[in-house]
Structure formats: C-alpha cells, structure tokens
Amino acid sequence: QGQLVESGGGSVQAGGSLTLSCVGSPSALGSRAMGWFRQAPGKEREFVAALNWSSRTKYYTDSVKGRFTISRDNAKSTVTLQMNSLKPEDTAVYYCAAGWLKTNVPDLSVDYWGQGTQVTVSA
C-alpha cells in the first residue's frame, strides 16, 4: 500500500497538455518496468504506456502514439507521462503501475498500482 503515488492530474481544454508524475518506493520499483493505465467512466481499465528499467523499450497504445511520452528517472524513483494534444476521449482516471513488460505485446503485467489521478479534457 502507498508504494506508488501519482500527481499532476487536472482539467484542461482539448489541445492542451498535462504532465503526470509517479513516485515509487524502492521496494516497488527495483528493476521493474513502469507504466500508466487509464479507466474512463463505464469502461475497463486500459493500458496507455510503459517502459522498462533502462528506458530502452517503450510501449504505447495506438491512440496516444505521437501525443504522449513516457520517461523515468531511476535516481529519483519517478516515472512521468507527458500528455500533449489532449482530446476529450483522454478523460479518465490515470493509474501508475510497476511490473514487467509483456513479450511482443504493448502491455504491462502489474505488481503494484497507484491510487489514481483524474484527468478531464473538455471540448
């Protein structure tokens, strides 16, 4: 509990930008990959982006490619999701996650979840 803590959510107009950050405890991070999922009202939680410990491998879901950028700073135990050109359909609760990249598929097998942060994009 409380091993991943997100910040940076909020409300923005379409076309705007937001940056989400997640700080993890050393026990949660270790050599794990980190990523972001989101869950819109009435929908299932979906994968957004993830990267491995070295940042050499990054995955994005198709709907955010070219608009979102994931990065991490292992020295600070943080992962960041830079979200540009936001659309109303990006509105969701965004969850930070730590786990392991799946093989040959853009997804993350999750060991730890954050509590979530709300992102609202208005038209």
* pLDDT tens, N- to C-terminus, the chain (123 residues): 558 999 999 999 999 999 999 999 888 788 999 999 999 999 999 999 999 999 999 999 999 999 999 999 999 999 999 999 999 999 999 999 999 999 888 999 999 999 999 999 999
Is there a contact between 114 and 8 (Cβ–Cβ < 8 Å)?
A: no
- Can you tell me the distance from the alpha carbon of 123 to that of 104, in angstroms, rounded to the nearest whole number? 35
Single out the residue of 3, 4, 1, 6 nearest to residue 93, CA to CA: 6
Q: What is the pLDDT of residue 1?
A: 53
Q: What is the pLDDT of residue 113?
A: 95
Q: What is the pLDDT of residue 2?
A: 56
Burial class of residue 76 in the structure, from the number of CB atoms within 10 Å of its CB (0-12 exposed, 13-18 middle, 19+ buried): exposed
Q: What is the pLDDT of residue 28?
A: 78
Is there a contact between 46 and 120 (Cβ–Cβ < 8 Å)?
A: no
